[in-house]
Structure 1
Amino acid sequence: MAAPPAQSLTEDDIYRTSTQFRLWSFSESALLSLRQNTHEAAFQQARSYLSESSLESLPSAQDELRLVQRYCEQVRATSDFFNWNVNVKATAVQYLKRFYTTNSVITYPPKEIYKSVLFLASKTEGVHMSLSEYARRIKTDPKDVLAPEYKIIQALRFTLDVRQPFRALKGCLMDLLNMAAGNGAPLPFLNLTPQDLQNQICALPPPPSGSKTQWQPSQQIGPKEAENRAHCAYTVARITLDAPALLTDVYFLFTPPQIYLAALKLSDPILFTFYLSTKIPATAAAHDIIVSTIARCADMLASFDQRKDIMSKEDRNALEQRLEEVRDPGTRDLVGRNEETKRGGMALGEVDGEKAERKKLAREKSFREGEDLFGPALTVQSKE
């Protein structure tokens, strides 16, 4: 009996098996509903420890979102302060955003969480910095960094992997440079040779007005000019991925390929259309849906204005002052709660007799097994 033909998986198939797709991908309405439910749950919890008049000081769901967004920017700034690679920055921002889909700033203020998510992201992404050094450089107590870590990992549902668009964008640049140099892979489904691709990329019209790229064509566009165009488009798209892509909700709503292609579209729409045509023929059944989805992502990225959309320092301080007055008393001392958890819920200095007895029996058992294996200790008889 002949073996069944092997099935090949596309990158899209592989992404759909990831925890990011299964647990952290939403529609806009589902994401809004999740955040609203989290806010309402915190509001109801606040009724148990606040008077009715004090409830008026609670932030709105929109205020909560803007404060989290302000601390996403703080994560970016702190990561840049350490000169860490962009993967750490992006992972930390997504950790913070994911945490606050099911937790409220009323319960866990971001100023206590953002330092922990950044340190956790540095470990996830393989940056080797000790806790003491990290805490020293951001002028905080190491205990404050570690205290909320397990709560954060719980909120992340123990999924620490964050799929990002940066590597895919770099791969796009390599493809475009190879095409410009005449070294691109042939495209049998379009009946195009590497020379055909080089001719096409050199014959592209210039970017339309309003494009973000700074590339300006010379009178004659050759391979070198096409390579320069690709580099310029990449640089602008890379900047888009560093700020608007991290500070909006696109990671929740779109896939990494859709995000990097949207950034390329904003940078150089003509180059984007050409590049997409080398991957998905215009006659493909899903072509129009893909283009429409990328356009929606690009619109979201383009609509972001960091000067207007990021809460000012003064507004942040005022909101945090209100939060101090309505803070959930059960989470005011995260360090103390963390230490209590380590002690199994026992008070400081309290001894668990049952646990101590188990340790004693374990030591005695280990001692007996040692004697059984090696025999009793040797003794020297004294001469009388």
Structure 2
Amino acid sequence: MSSKKAKKPLYEQSTQFRHWRFSSSQLENIRTQTNASAVERVKRLLTEESALRETEQTDSPRPPPEEIPYLIADEELALCRYYEAMIRNFPGANFPDEVKATAIVYMKRFYLRNSIMDYHPKTIMMTCLFLGAKTENNIIAISDFLNIIERISREKISRDTIFRHELPVSQSMRFEYAVHHPYRASFGFFLDLQNFTKDLTKLKRIYEKSKEYIGTSLLTELVFIYQPSQIALATIRLATKTLETKLDINGYIRSKFPDKHEKLTDILDDIENTLTNFSPVSKDQAKEIDRKLHFCRNPEKNPNSALSKKRRADKQREREVRKTKRLKTLRDQQKELESVFQ
């Protein structure tokens, strides 16, 4: 009699486990390819834009498309990281950690397959935060959300800006909204460690510190490479070191995972090394990349560009042509009916 097949853990049944796990080299290759494709596309569109502007004889000169210093993959990643950090530190709405974590993961997934030369991360950041709030059942009215954004950024944001980008973001994520992040796993370890130590005061300090490290981990590649439980355990181990507590976390790991202890230790070491060596993107770095981005943004995404105006005019002409054809068809049908009844 065959034994029943063991049921997979919940995380291993998730779309995150199946579709959003990569090695460091895979991530680098994906971003390099996305960037190269964007540069080729934007250069072609800027050439078309330049020709249209010459025809219209505009007074705002721009460098020729072939002379523009286009962004490289590392610059795109750096600007994304800067706006991811803005989500993490987002004030004014009292969003819980889970909402911010989900929004950051959405943003990471979106920019694996999209370029900031097509979609500015400021807009995508706001869209991901709004989507993340809905996913984590922390729904906020769009009017209230926009009021918070405007109060912080002092910029008037249209609700259409958020709604218009919800579909591209969702499509890029394959409509896979569920996110498993380390906060829940960290809380599980906090509860389990209460069977390992009776010093709850010390344990609570470790748990709170581990959540700070989880916030840092969300700004790295770790969420694509390791399981949430592995990241959570690494942050707890790192917190015990940082706070210089006497909790025997390595003893806990050996007793909890006796058959996987050595391999797990290597994973935790790598996660810890990433966290301790993490360096945030400064505001000056972000500004420099943003200045460079100004000259190499996709003109099709700018409603005021000559290319966008031409595209809209072309679509309007197409609509007029289709309308004229439909009217002609209706008139012909009417004449045919009239001839039958004469």
Pick the TM interval, shorter chain: 0.7 to 0.9
> How is 1:213-228 mapped onto 2 (pairs within 5 angstroms)?
223=198, 226-228=199-201
Deviation (angstroms), 1:271: 3.1
* 1:104 pairs with 2:115: yes
Q: What residue is the counterpart of 2:25 in the other structure?
A: 29
Distance 1:54 1:24 in 2: 35
Quickly say closer, same or farther: Cα 1:310–1:303, change in 2 above 3 A.
Answer: same
**How does 1:236-315 map onto structure 2 within 5 Å?**
236-242=209-215, 244-268=216-240, 271-281=248-258, 284=259, 286-305=260-279, 309-312=280-283, 314-315=284-285
For residue 47 of structure 1, the aligned residue among 43, 48, 59 is 43
Alignment of 1:337-352 (within 5 A): 347=316
Alignment gaps of 5+ in structure 1: 181-222, 335-344, 358-384
* TM-score scaled by length of structure 2: 0.77
**Higher Rg of the two aligned structures:** 1
Where does the alignment leave 5 or more consecutive residues of structure 2 unmatched? Answer: 48-63, 151-156, 242-246, 305-313, 328-342
Structure 2 CA distance, aligned partners of 1:291 and 1:46? Answer: 45
Q: CA deviation at 1:142?
A: 0.7
Contact 2:196 2:252 in 1 (8 A): no
Matched, 1:76 2:76: no
Cα pair distance change 1:333/1:279, threshold 3 Å: farther
Q: Confirm or deny that 1:160 pairs with 2:184.
A: no
Asked if 1 retains the 8 angstrom alpha-carbon contact of 2:124 and 2:165, the reply is yes
Change beyond 3 A, Cα 1:155–1:250: same
Distance of 2:32 and 2:84 partners within structure 1:
19
- Give the CA deviation at 1:235: 1.6
Matched, 1:326 2:296: yes
Please state how far the C-alpha of 1:54 moved relative to its aligned partner: 4.6
Residue 192 of structure 1: aligned partner: none
| Contact preservation (8 Å) 2:21, 2:225 | yes
Do 2:102 and 2:179's aligned partners in 1 also have CA atoms closer than 8 Å?
yes
Deviation of residue 228 (structure 1)? Answer: 2.4
Please tell me the residue identity of whatever aligns with 2:209.
V
TM-score of the pair, normalised by structure 1 = 0.69
Residue 347 of structure 1, CA deviation: 4.3
Match of 1:304, SS state, is coil
Normalized per residue, the structure richer in helix is: 2
Q: Counterparts of 1:48 and 1:64 in 2: how far apart (Å)?
A: 19
Indicate if the aligned counterparts of 2:34 and 2:114 stay in contact, CA closer than 8 A: yes
Separation in 2 of the partners of 1:160 and 1:53?
38
How many Å separate the matches in 2 of 1:271 and 1:160?
Answer: 37
The letter of the residue matching 1:279 is K
Does structure 2 conserve the Cα–Cα contact (< 8 Å) formed by 1:25 and 1:254? yes
Shift of 1:280: 1.1
Partners in 1 of 2:123 and 2:228 — Cα distance?
29
TM-fit CA distance, 1:77: 2.3
Identity %: 27
Structure number with higher relative contact order (C-alpha < 8 Å, ≥ 6 residues apart): 2
What are the Cα deviations for residues 23-82 of structure 1, in whole angstroms up to 9, with x where unaligned?
11000000000000000001111231335655532112111110000010111222x421
Hey, what's the Cα distance between the residues in 2 that align with 1:268 and 1:137? Answer: 37
SS at match of 1:317: helix
Answer whether contact 2:240 2:249 (CA < 8 A) is retained.
Answer: yes
CA–CA distance in structure 2, aligned partners of residues 55 and 326 of structure 1: 10
Instruction: Classify the secondary structure of the residue corresponding to 1:147.
Output: helix
Deviation at 1:157, TM superposition (A): 1.2
The answer (yes or no) to whether the contact 1:38–1:101 under 8 Å persists in 2 is: yes
Q: What is residue 342 of structure 1 aligned with on the other side?
A: none
Equivalent pairs, count? 289
AA of the residue aligned to 2:106: Y
Aligned to 1:65: 77
Q: Which runs of 4+ in 1 moved over 4 A?
A: 51-55, 345-348, 350-353
CA distance in 2, matches of 1:55, 1:263: 46
CA deviation map 1:223-250 (0-9, x unaligned)? 4xx32222221121111112x1111111
